[in-house]
Structure 1
């Protein structure tokens, strides 16, 4: 189970040599500039395409090709930034597509246990199958590229809080019988909670024109 969260922090493979020539030799400030510029350009292009074709290609890209190229551009961006927010959204898409059963288990347990409106805000069915959670994350990404960006980030943050709650309760369940599995769930809960905070902060920054 810990395999997926470990992928959240680093690219899966080395980028091609041509990409090294563009990005690998630059300093951190230039790499940050490139990350912000590409995120802004992608978002702007998708929002200007009324047909929705660009949005659908952006949603499908990670599912078809992985997140290596995205990781090289955005993985090290600040949490409260446009590339940082987009990176976290693609990580959520990766998690549900890579291990739908565990993701759905965490979400359902969190939905039952969490006494907040987060499950309603996220917008998944109750209970939600892995396929329905894939659809939910894709819908959230469509909201980012075509709809209200802040609302999409709020939905993603709520989704993370529900899953974090589920992971926390499962960690408690396994504490006595399977301590290593409990530790895995605890780490995942902490990571998801952190993503929820990052996405909420990015949403608030977007609303006041401070997210770049």
Structure 2
């Protein structure tokens, strides 16, 4: 057994805090952009090169331990066609599925009636249930950091698009105008997220996602 220690996991939040202290006054937009790209690449490369399974699990539960706000400060302002922007959308989708799995299952099932073929790309076992949806999003997020980024982004995009179509169907059945409007808005946002993740997957496959 090798005595070489596994690479130490470095979370992105301290990187932002350390660099942000160097900025007098309001953060410079370009520096904020650089921080987002640097932290996303450092996190992705650090996990990919690690031989310690615990490192992957820490990244999987990064939102639970550090909070979504920490990632938002780094990545939420990044365009979808960048690595930090794609990872941000992936983490948001994963967090939604973990916290609201029942709702995700309901919307996903509705969506498969419209575009059933897309469920094969999403890779959710049929018929989907709460445990399966959570496990699938765990698998997708884990895959993004273990060498299958294009596949992970593509699967996440398929899940989001299916949920978008399902949400639109459910909105049509709502009798309350306020709820119907809210769900229609959610469907539009989910569709945008799905399309963005799908495009990010294409760029990752081509080696142009940075």
| TM bracket (short chain) | 0.7 to 0.9
CA distance in 1, matches of 2:136, 2:22: 35
Q: 1:6 maps to what in 2?
A: none
Residue pair 2:115, 2:162 contacting (<8 A) in 1 also? no
Name the SS for the 1:132 alignment partner.
helix
Q: List gaps (5 residues or longer) in structure 1.
A: 1-15
Q: 1:8 maps to what in 2?
A: none
Q: Which has the larger radius of gyration?
A: 2
CA distance in 2, matches of 1:156, 1:17: 30
CA shift at 1:147, angstroms? 3.1
**How high is the TM-score relative to the length of structure 2?**
0.86
Residue pair 1:150, 1:204 contacting (<8 A) in 2 also? yes
1:187 equivalenced with 2:185 (yes/no) = yes
Deviations 1:35-57 (A, max 9, x none): 00000000000110133322111
Q: 1:210 maps to what in 2?
A: 208
CA distance in 2, matches of 1:92, 1:164: 12
Aligned residue pairs, count:
194
Aligned pairs (5 A) from 1:168-183: 168-174=168-174, 177-183=175-181
The list of structure 1 runs, each at least 4 consecutive aligned residues, that deviate by more than 4 angstroms after superposition, is 16-20
1:47 equivalenced with 2:48 (yes/no) = yes
Q: List gaps (5 residues or longer) in structure 2.
A: 1-15
**How high is the TM-score relative to the length of structure 1?**
0.85
Q: 2:70 maps to what in 1?
A: 69
1:147 equivalenced with 2:147 (yes/no) = yes
CA shift at 1:131, angstroms? 2.3
CA distance in 2, matches of 1:129, 1:28: 42
Residue pair 2:167, 2:184 contacting (<8 A) in 1 also? yes
CA distance in 1, matches of 2:115, 2:105: 18
CA shift at 1:169, angstroms? 0.3
